């Protein structure tokens, strides 16, 4: 099990749909919102840990 670096949820890497590559490492997310949030500012999440569900707008 991997941990979504944004919301802290557990994600199964073998089924996860939302992933990204950062500094040679693959990160898995529960949703595209978390992924987008991470890609905007990966360092903060990696440094400060998960922050919960990001607020998103439609």
Partner 1 sequence: MSTSSKYRMKKEEVFKIVGMHCANCAVTIQKSLEKVGVKASVSLASEEAKVAYDPETIPPKKILEAVRRAGYDIYKEEIIFVVEGLASAEDDSLVERRLSTVEGVLDVSSNHALKTIKIVFNPLTTNPQELRRAVEELGLKIVKEQVEEEVEDIGRMLLERENRILRNLLLIATPPTAVLLILTYIAPLIPPLAEFAESYFAKNILGFILATPAMAAGSYRFLRTGIRALLNLAPNMDSLVTLGTFSAYIFSILVSLGLVAGEVFYEAGAAVMTFILLGKYLESRMKLRTGEAVRKLMELQAKTARVIRDGREVEVPIDQVKVKDIVVVRPGEKIPVDGVVKSGRGYVDESMITGEPVPVEKNPGDPVVAGTILTRGSLTISVTRVGKETVLGQIIKLVRTAQSSKPKIQAMVDKVSGYFTWIVITIAISAFIVWYFIVGVPLWLATIFAVSVLVIACPCALGLATPMAIIVGFGRAAVNGILIKDPSVVDKLPKINYVIFDKTGTLTEGKPKVRRIAVVDKDLDENEILRLAASAELKSEHPLAQAIISEAKERGLEVKEPEEFDSLSGMGVLARVNGSYIGVGNIKLVKGLEAKLNGAESIASEIMNDGLTAVYVVKDGSVVAVLGIGDDLKPGAKEVVSYLKSKNIKVAILTGDTRTTAMAIARRLGVDEVIAEAMPEEKVEKVKEVQNRGFRVAMVGDGINDAAALTQADVGIAVGSATDIAKEAGDVIVLRKDIYGVIDVFEIVNVVRKKAMQNLFWAFIYNVTLIPIAAGVLYPAYKIILKPEFAGLAMALSSVSVTTWALTLKRWKPKRR
Site residues (CB under 8 A) for partner 1?
13, 17, 19-24, 26, 30-33, 53, 56, 58
Minimum CB distance to partner 1, residue 45 (Å): 15
Say if CB 48 and CB 5 are below 8 A apart.
no
Question: Quick one: DSSP state of residue 3?
Answer: E
Bridge partners of residue 22, in order along the sequence: 25
Minimum CB distance to partner 1, residue 22 (Å): 6
Minimum CB distance to partner 1, residue 19 (Å): 5
**Which of 23, 27, 22 lies closest to 11, judged by CA?**
27
Give the residue with the Cβ less far from partner 1, 1 or 21: 21
């Amino acid at each position: 099990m991997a941990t979504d670096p944004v919301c802290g949820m557990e994600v199964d890497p073998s089924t996860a749909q939302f992933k990204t590559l950062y500094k040679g490492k693959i990160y898995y997310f529960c949703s595209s919102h978390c992924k987008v949030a991470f890609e905007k500012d990966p360092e903060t999440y990696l440094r400060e840990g998960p922050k919960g569900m990001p607020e998103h707008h439609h």
